[in-house]
Structure 1
Amino acid sequence: MKNNCITNCLTTWVELNKNALWHNIDTLSYVMGPAIKLGLVVKANAYGHGLKEIVEISTSHPATAYFFTASLAEAIEVKQTGCRQPVCALVPGDRENLEQALNAGVECSCFDQTIAQQIVAMAHAIGKQARVHLKVDTGLSRLGFTLADIDWCADFFKKNEHFIKLVGVMSHLADVVQEEIPYAHEQRITFDSFCSKLRETGLHWEETHLCGSGACPLSTHDTLVRVGTTLYGYWKSPAQKHRLEQRAQKKLVLMPVLSWKTRIMHLKTVSAKTPVGYGQSFVTQRTTILAILPIGYSDGLPRDLSNKGFVTIRSQPAPILGKVSMNATTVNVSDIPNAVIGSEVVLLGPPPSPTADNLAELCGTVHIDILSRIQSTLPRRIVS
């Protein structure tokens, strides 16, 4: 039996729940309070959700104060949506995009002397004043200035004030998933010391931001908190959830924003002792109805789900049989009698479908790894 939808509907797509995203922004805004702005992190194609679509949904929310990307190219893409908020590239390593970014009004992090000089040189060449956030290395040991660089920073910004404006000072915490976060407290002290000494040189700025939502109790001295994982409806850890609930003084619920769907492409009935897929890693024990799905690891479905993952069809689980291949995946629909060609299949979504947390546990990774793998070329639908 066939379903006409296989010929006139999308084959594989991502759905983004606008109500869920707004609920999460409302929740995070409530937790932070009116004195702290929300900066929405939309790097890595908005954690796999779809950068343009997430910006489109969230830009009109009154609590959305900033957008943060990783690259300059992403920041330019956000600017091109026409959003009203400032946009900052946190890791502007793609310096070939610097001229276009500055012309578009993109802000960027400034983390060492080389990039500071490159930003000023480009701003001078195109007649612009670059807006930057000075990044401080407080203990992650990646990017950023240290206390030893205070005098150089002060001198540089004062000498080049016509071409570079200090908009913010920022850093990034190394560990906020544990119940106790003593290292984060040490980073807070280092960051505050840097900011204090920089102010003593006569420099001033608008935004101070060290924390993501996972360490919001440490954000009392800041003007802004960057929110990523929680924005999309996931907790980094039970400890993070507990910290936010303590601050809010009530139970909190986040709503996953993304669902990932496909359709049954083909049905096949095989007898017992039939090998399924590459390497014959699964052999049927009984007569089995197989559903072939037009999706594989090239679309972002982890190969680690081979023989242990599942999808849902009509809210019923269908185990993955054999290897997840590049462009196809086979599932068992023997116990789903109303499964037909064209039936909707949920790869990832709210329970009873597998969640990003479920898939991450099966694959030995984290939920944002699962989400950010989803191919950007797949169509995105905004639903309410």
Structure 2
Amino acid sequence: MSRPARARIDLAAIRHNYLHAKSCAPSARAWAVVKADAYGHGAVAVARALAPVADGFAVAFLEEALELRESGIEGPILLLEGVFAPDELAAVDRAGLDMVVHAEHQLEWIAAARPERPFGCWLKVDSGMHRVGFAPPEVAAALARLRACPQVGRLRAISHLARADEPGEPYSARQLAAFDDAVAGVVPASLANSAAVLDLPTAHRDWVRPGIMLYGVSPFDTAHPNAAALRPAMTLESALIAIRTLPAGEPVGYGGRFVCRRPSRIGVVAIGYADGYPRHAPDGVAVMVRGQRAPLAGRVSMDMITVDLTDLPEAVVGDRVELWGARIDAGALARASDTIAYQLFTNLKRVRVEHQR
């Protein structure tokens, strides 16, 4: 029998979440963001499931896009980081990809290229994130250069919001104003990430970019009415592989962080930080066993965690354990562990992945 750790991916939930994004921004088209292997959910499987309804797919770089093309995905694909070297432009041309242009050197590479068909380009505006992109005073000249370039066909503008996951934060309005002043409405635009899709209609524009919301996790730390409709797409589960009975006062795990306050049944689950379960999860965060919540008891190890089963006397070796999913919120676990659900999903490894339609 193989190790019981597995991630079950509900593709119907991802389709539901994509359509919810569309319903929140009904006048916009939507890039389904499937970078980083669809946030650990399997980019090819997710893209195939969304292909009948998605307006296009957004990935980080060329290899991610080519994987989708080679798997039969024919719709628009956007490279969010553009190209890293001029020789990548030939592959962009062959695969018919759109690309972000965020720097002077990329402009120069495009101007020197000889594509068979004009490129679809998205000029990146640094409206306040300050990672990549053209500063607002540089945007008009960059747009003019791209318009004058015969290698460029479709031309659009794109930016990214740094604090959209903080509803009411005025920095988002400042970014929108900076973007509008720079672009002056002359090209179609894309600004809205998941948080802005759900909470900031003024950012919706021509294209939105739902990412984490596709996978059923709210981008907000507090409840939001539009996020309530999201359906978790991943269930991470394993099984109890041992149960120990310990007297009061006995420590459990590395460093003895957890000490039994009463005679206790301690269950061992085959999952650990080498699989992607957060190493810094504190005592008391819950897993689900037989429909009941059981608290973590002791430090997370590389391959195992220990949970307190004292109040679940019926639990036995072999019982399934949900680490996150429909009943254990990945976002809440991430916050308790001083991380984010994005990292939980993208760090997942050593577990079987099963896609369910």
TM-score (norm 1): 0.82
Corresponding residue to 1:262 among 232, 238, 241: 238
TM superposition shift of 1:237: 2.5
TM superposition shift of 1:91: 1.9
Aligned to 1:241: 224
Please say if 1:218 is aligned against 2:209.
Answer: no
Corresponding residue to 1:227 among 198, 201, 210: 210
Aligned to 2:331: 357
Q: Quick one: structure 1 residues 349 and 117, their matched pair in 2 at CA, closer, same or farther if it must change by over 3 Å?
A: same
* Partner Cα distance (2:85, 2:277) in 1: 32
Whichever residue aligns with residue 313 of structure 2, its letter is P
TM superposition shift of 1:355: 0.7
Secondary structure (helix, strand or coil) at the match of 2:274 reads helix
Aligned to 1:299: 275
Secondary structure (helix, strand or coil) at the match of 2:165 reads coil
* Partner Cα distance (2:262, 2:87) in 1: 58
Aligned to 1:90: 80
TM-score (norm 2): 0.87
* Partner Cα distance (2:191, 2:276) in 1: 32
Whichever residue aligns with residue 165 of structure 2, its letter is V
Aligned to 2:29: 37
Aligned to 1:141: 130
Q: Is the 8 A contact 1:214 1:240 kept in 2?
A: no
Please say if 1:19 is aligned against 2:12.
Answer: yes
* Partner Cα distance (2:223, 2:263) in 1: 47
Q: Quick one: structure 1 residues 323 and 12, their matched pair in 2 at CA, closer, same or farther if it must change by over 3 Å?
A: same
Whichever residue aligns with residue 39 of structure 1, its letter is W
* Partner Cα distance (1:44, 1:148) in 2: 32
Q: Is the 8 A contact 1:157 1:166 kept in 2?
A: no
Query: Per-residue CA shift, 1:321-380, capped at 9, x if unaligned?
Result: 2210112212222332333332211000122xx2112202312333333333323x5332
TM superposition shift of 1:225: 0.8
* Partner Cα distance (2:240, 2:266) in 1: 10
* Partner Cα distance (1:342, 1:101) in 2: 49
* Partner Cα distance (1:294, 1:95) in 2: 43
Aligned to 1:104: 95
Matches within 5 A, 1:252-291: 253-291=229-267
Aligned to 1:196: 184
Higher helix share: 1
* Partner Cα distance (1:96, 1:381) in 2: 38
* Partner Cα distance (1:276, 1:152) in 2: 63
TM superposition shift of 1:87: 1.0
Query: Per-residue CA shift, 1:262-294, capped at 9, x if unaligned?
Result: 122233333443332212222334443332222
Unaligned residue ranges in structure 2 (runs of 5+) = none
Q: Is the 8 A contact 2:82 2:102 kept in 1?
A: no
Aligned to 2:355: 382
Matches within 5 A, 1:53-132: 53-60=45-52, 62=53, 64-92=54-82, 94-95=84-85, 98=88, 99-121=90-112, 123-124=113-114, 129-132=118-121
Q: Quick one: structure 1 residues 343 and 120, their matched pair in 2 at CA, closer, same or farther if it must change by over 3 Å?
A: farther
Corresponding residue to 1:325 among 301, 322, 333: 301
Identity %: 27
* Partner Cα distance (2:219, 2:302) in 1: 29
TM superposition shift of 1:306: 4.1
Q: Quick one: structure 1 residues 307 and 213, their matched pair in 2 at CA, closer, same or farther if it must change by over 3 Å?
A: closer
Matches within 5 A, 1:341-352: 341-351=317-327
Secondary structure (helix, strand or coil) at the match of 1:312 reads strand
TM superposition shift of 1:209: 0.9
Query: Per-residue CA shift, 1:221-252, capped at 9, x if unaligned?
Result: x211111122222322278935x59xxxxxx6
Aligned to 1:208: 189
Q: Quick one: structure 1 residues 97 and 324, their matched pair in 2 at CA, closer, same or farther if it must change by over 3 Å?
A: farther
**Aligned alpha-carbon RMSD (Å):** 2.8
* Partner Cα distance (2:141, 2:99) in 1: 19
TM superposition shift of 1:86: 0.9
Unaligned residue ranges in structure 1 (runs of 5+) = 1-6, 200-204, 246-251
Matches within 5 A, 1:305-316: 305-316=281-292
* Partner Cα distance (2:144, 2:276) in 1: 47
* Partner Cα distance (1:130, 1:236) in 2: 33
Whichever residue aligns with residue 10 of structure 2, its letter is N
